[in-house]
Amino acid sequence: MDSFIATGLIGISLGSQYTLLALGFTLIFGILGVVNFAHGGFYVMGGYVAYYCNVILGLPYPVAVMLAMLSMAALGWLFESLILERVIEDHQATLMVTMGFYLVMATAILMIFGAESPQFPFPVTGVWRLGGIYFPYANMIVLGACLAAIVFVYWLVYRTNIGRGMRAMSEDLPVASALGMRTKALFPFAFALATGLAGGTGALVTPILALAPHVGDSVLAFSFLTVILGGLGSVTGATCAAFIVGLIEAYAAVYLGGSKGALTLFALVLIILVVRPQGLLGREVRRS
Instruction: Quote the least distance from Cβ 109 to other proteins, whole Å.
Output: 11
The footprint of other proteins (CB under 8 A) covers 3, 6-7, 10, 13-14, 110, 115-119, 121, 125, 127, 129, 134, 136, 209-210, 212-215, 217-219, 221, 249-255, 257-259, 261-262
Nearer to other proteins, 142 or 193 (CB): 142
Instruction: Quote the least distance from Cβ 203 to other proteins, whole Å.
Output: 15
Nearer to other proteins, 241 or 252 (CB): 252
Instruction: Quote the least distance from Cβ 71 to other proteins, whole Å.
Output: 22
Nearer to other proteins, 78 or 210 (CB): 210
Task: Please count the CA atoms within 13 angstroms of the CA of 30 that sit on its side-chain side.
Answer: 32
Instruction: Quote the least distance from Cβ 197 to other proteins, whole Å.
Output: 18
Nearer to other proteins, 62 or 136 (CB): 136
Nearer to other proteins, 3 or 160 (CB): 3
Instruction: Quote the least distance from Cβ 111 to other proteins, whole Å.
Output: 12
